[in-house]
Amino acid sequence: MGSQNNAEAPAGTASFAAILFDMDGTIIDTISAIVEHWHRIGNEIGVPAETILETSHGRRSIDTLKLVAPHKAHWEYVKEVEAKLPELYGHLVEEIPGARKFLETVAQSHNPWAIVTSASEPLASRWISQLSLPVPDHLVTAELVENGKPDPSCYELALKQLGLVGRSNETVVIEDSPAGIIAAKAAGCKVLALLTTHSEKQVSAAKPDWIARDLSSVGTHARDNGKVVVNFQTVL
């Protein structure tokens, strides 16, 4: 495997107490849907979509709105507009290669896992339902923490929910955005970064432990001595 600064680490195997997943860019590709969503919201609030999109990726909607339309930066509005997103733009969403198989294997093996996302609960739950994805043991959403990524609060909450406080270094987080990687590392977790939304240079700068193209190059199987065994089949 190699150190967190070695992006040319060979394939290998590692064991963890649990797996934590980001959602957008890690499990599903929602970029096209999000772009359309922000165009609609931009028209509604009188802010150019291009201005919104400059700062929105990997950031909670409420934090984006604090920058471009503070009067709309409250959870009632965020949940209302995000709840409509899957119905309006779900046809634009694609699964990240290997994600469904990986999630199904994790769920079927009864491995402890959670999804930790910058989406609100209505949006994240609807994506899971609409796409028939495995339901995680815990779902940590945007409104459950005061500060979004790169603040580590969301991952710290997931560790607490899984009963793994003090064992963060035994937990692997799968992320795609530099902000998410930084959040997970700040929480003390190991990080497997995917090159699904950012360049290798951008991802490497956040100092993940491993880098993979997507989840088709990563696998998992039955637990070994109470831990989740993860195979890094093609790690950069």
Helix (H, G, I), strand (E, B) or coil at 98: coil
Domain 12-29+93-232 CATH assignment equals 3.40.50.1000: yes
Note if 24 is an active site residue.
yes
Looking at 50-64, 76-90, 120-134, 168-182, which range is the least confident one?
A: 50-64
Tokens of 190: 């190991």
Q: How many CA atoms, within 13 angstroms, populate the side-chain half-sphere of residue 32?
A: 10
Segment 178-214, tens digit of pLDDT: 999 999 999 999 999 999 999 999 999 999 999 999 9
DSSP character for 206?
A: T
Q: How many Å apart are CA 2 and CA 42, to the nearest integer?
A: 44
Q: How many Å apart are CA 65 and CA 36, to the nearest integer?
A: 16
The terminus-to-terminus CA distance of the chain in angstroms comes to 10
Q: Judge contact between 201 and 180, C-beta under 8 A.
A: no
Q: What interhelical angle do 75-89 and 31-45 show, nearest 10? A: 130
Which of the four pLDDT bands, split at 50, 70 and 90, describes residue 4? very low
Q: How many Å apart are CA 162 and CA 187, to the nearest integer?
A: 14
Q: How many Å apart are CA 236 and CA 232, to the nearest integer?
A: 10
Q: How many Å apart are CA 141 and CA 208, to the nearest integer?
A: 22
Q: Which residues contact 63 (CB under 8 A, 6 or more apart)?
A: 73, 148
Domain ranges of the chain: 12-29+93-232, 31-92
Segment 30-76, tens digit of pLDDT: 999 999 999 999 999 999 999 999 988 778 999 999 999 999 999 99
CATH code of the domain occupying 31-92 = 1.10.150.240
